[in-house]
Amino acid sequence: MARKTANDDPLAPVTLAVGQEDLLLDRAVQEVVAAAKAADADTDVRDLTPDQLQPGTLAELTSPSLFAERKVVVVRNAQDLSADTVKDVKAYLGAPAEEITLVLLHAGGAKGKGVLDAARKAGAREVACPKMTKPADRLAFVRSEFRTAGRSATPEACQALVDAIGSDLRELASAVSQLTADVEGTVDEAVVGRYYTGRAEASSFTVADRAVEGRAAEALEALRWSLATGVAPVLITSALAQGVRAIGKLSSARGGRPADLARELGMPPWKIDRVRQQMRGWTPDGVSVALRAVAEADAGVKGAGEDAEYALEKAVVTIARAARSRGRS
Long-range contacts of 301-309 (CB under 8 A, 24+ apart): 301/233, 301/234, 301/236, 301/237, 302/234, 308/233, 309/227, 309/233
- How far apart, in whole angstroms, are the C-alpha atoms of residue 244 and residue 279? 9
For residue 293, the SS3 value is helix
pLDDT of residue 280: 83
Element housing 268 (H / E): none
- How far apart, in whole angstroms, are the C-alpha atoms of residue 119 and residue 96? 11
Other residues' Cβ atoms within 10 Å of the Cβ of residue 77: 18
* Contact by Cβ (8 Å): 20, 107: yes
pLDDT of residue 67: 62
pLDDT of residue 201: 46
Instruction: Provide the Cα torsion 197, 198, 203, 206; round to 10°.
Output: 60
Per-residue pLDDT of the chain (329 residues; tens, 9 = 90+): 555 554 688 999 999 999 999 899 999 999 999 999 999 999 999 999 999 998 999 999 988 765 667 899 999 999 999 999 999 999 999 999 888 999 999 999 899 999 999 999 999 999 999 988 888 888 999 999 999 999 999 998 998 888 777 778 888 898 899 899 888 999 998 888 777 765 544 568 888 989 999 999 989 988 888 887 777 788 889 889 988 988 888 887 756 666 666 666 666 666 777 788 888 889 999 999 999 999 999 898 887 667 889 999 999 999 999 988 765 54
Find the distance separating the first CA and the last CA of the chain, reported in whole Å: 53
pLDDT of residue 197: 62
pLDDT of residue 6: 46
pLDDT of residue 277: 83
pLDDT of residue 159: 87
